[in-house]
Amino acid sequence: MRLQFILSEIGQGLRRNLSMTISVILVTFVSLTFVGSAVLLQTQIGKMKDDWYDKVEVSVFLCPQNSTAPTCASGEVTDEQKSQIQAALASPEVDPFVEKVYTETKEQAYEAFQEQFKDQFWASAATVDDMNSSYRIKLTDPEKYSVVSEVISGKAGVEEVKDQQRLFDRLFSVLNSATLLAGGLALVMLLAAVLLITTTIRLSALSRRRETGIMRLVGASTMFIQLPFMLEGAIAATIGALLAVGGLWLGVTYLIEDWLGGSAGWIPYVSTADVLTIAPVLIGVAILLAAISSLVTLSRYTKV
């Protein structure tokens, strides 16, 4: 009997404030979509870091002919300078961080250059002597690039030391900025959702002030009186959360897995499994929003 009464009160409250209930659902949907997008974007960054950082190499470009670098003042790198560079890579300060060293000759660099830019008219003007021979160093820990760079940079015969991780870091910096933007928008929308749920519960409580007064006179407990209002907010917020999960699932399925996955399949993308992983979190946030709104509102507006 009590359950039937509570359910009827919930249905009555939702019908009386239908437009506000729909607004709560929509605002919760938008805010939690931003929250979910921020979490998925950070998950995407983590996947890319785990995959790409393992493939990061440090490239030590040796002096070609006619280089203007101070370390190339004596001209093209000599065999003696190469021996000194190799000895530095095998030194106790560097060797623990080096997994493997690949050597690329000028001829190999020229072949790779012509293959990469074969459709460019200016590529034919390049010659073998314009190319750098180089060492490609695979690190045991990509974060230790600075150790290798400090020992190798500035040595005679070394024109430049480049770390691929720096290129990735720029991309990840942009993605992290996008995450912060999505997170900021999510916070604003979550605040709007709290205020809107609070207003909805307040209007529902005011419209049924007479009924709650009668319930209080006949001995109903505070929890029994407040429970329908709390459940109204929780139901509306949960529906919004479910819509957000559905929207994220569709977005990941069609935009990421089907479209991006089909055109650039070498990138490790987030999947619908990641969406389902964060779904309980989004639903929990929705219920928490409703709980906070209820605590703020009901203690005042259900008094007689």
**Higher-confidence residue: 29 or 295?**
29
Q: Give the mean model confidence (pLDDT) for residues 248-259.
A: 88
Query: Does residue 212 have a pLDDT over 60?
Result: no
| Cβ-contact 282, 186 below 8 angstroms | no
* Distance of alpha carbon 151 from alpha carbon 20, whole angstroms: 66
Query: Does residue 24 have a pLDDT over 90?
Result: no
Encoded tokens for 207: 């419209």
| Cβ-contact 302, 201 below 8 angstroms | no
- Strand 98-104 relative to strand 134-139, pairing: antiparallel
Task: Report the pLDDT value the prediction gives residue 91, as an integer from 0 to 100.
Answer: 86
Query: Does residue 213 have a pLDDT over 70?
Result: no
Q: What is the pTM of this model?
A: 0.60
Task: Report the pLDDT value the prediction gives residue 293, as an integer from 0 to 100.
Answer: 75
Q: Give the mean model confidence (pLDDT) for residues 166-179.
A: 70
Taking all residues of the chain, what is their mean pLDDT, rounded to a whole number? 76
* Distance of alpha carbon 146 from alpha carbon 245, whole angstroms: 42
Q: Give the mean model confidence (pLDDT) for residues 184-213.
A: 69
Task: Report the pLDDT value the prediction gives residue 5, as an integer from 0 to 100.
Answer: 46
Q: DSSP string spanning the chain? A: -HHHHHHHHHHHHHHHTHHHHHHHHHHHHHHHHHHHHHHHHHHHHHHHHHHHGGG-EEEEEEP-TT--SGGGTTSSPPHHHHHHHHHHHTSTTTGGGEEEEEEE-HHHHHHHHHHHTTT-GGGGG--GGGSPPEEEEEESSGGGHHHHHHHHTT-TTEEEEEEHHHHHHHHHHHHHHHHHHHHHHHHHHHHHHHHHHHHHHHHHHHHTHHHHHHHHHTT--HHHHHHHHHHHHHHHHHHHHHHHHHHHHHHIIIIIIIIIHHH-TTS----HHHHHHHHHHHHHHHHHHHHHHHHHHHHHHT--
Angle at 52 between CA 144 and CA 157, to 5 degrees: 50
The helix-helix angle for 222-251 and 18-52 (nearest 10°) equals 50
| Cβ-contact 289, 193 below 8 angstroms | yes
| Cβ-contact 182, 206 below 8 angstroms | no
What are the distances in angstroms from CA 242 to CA 27, 245, 278, 285, 286?
13, 5, 12, 11, 9
CA 287 to chain centre: 24
Q: Give the mean model confidence (pLDDT) for residues 281-289.
A: 88
Task: Report the pLDDT value the prediction gives residue 7, as an integer from 0 to 100.
Answer: 53
Q: Give the mean model confidence (pLDDT) for residues 217-237.
A: 64
pLDDT tens digits, one per residue of 52-79: 666 667 888 888 888 888 888 888 888 8
Q: Give the mean model confidence (pLDDT) for residues 172-193.
A: 76
Query: Does residue 183 have a pLDDT over 80?
Result: no
* Distance of alpha carbon 145 from alpha carbon 237, whole angstroms: 48
Task: Report the pLDDT value the prediction gives residue 26, as an integer from 0 to 100.
Answer: 83
* pLDDT grade for 209, boundaries at 50, 70 and 90: low
Task: Report the pLDDT value the prediction gives residue 222, as an integer from 0 to 100.
Answer: 53
The segment(s) of the chain belonging to CATH 3.30.70.3040 are 55-163
* pLDDT grade for 1, boundaries at 50, 70 and 90: very low
**Shortest CA distance to 155 belongs to which of 101, 83, 210, 225?**
83
Strongest mean pLDDT among 38-42, 182-186, 250-254: 250-254
Q: Of all residues in the chain, what percent carry a pLDDT higher than 90?
A: 6
* pLDDT grade for 2, boundaries at 50, 70 and 90: low
| Cβ-contact 224, 302 below 8 angstroms | no
Task: Report the pLDDT value the prediction gives residue 227, as an integer from 0 to 100.
Answer: 62
* pLDDT grade for 298, boundaries at 50, 70 and 90: low
CATH for 55-163 is 3.30.70.3040
pLDDT tens digits, one per residue of 108-157: 888 888 887 777 777 777 888 778 888 888 877 766 777 777 888 888 88
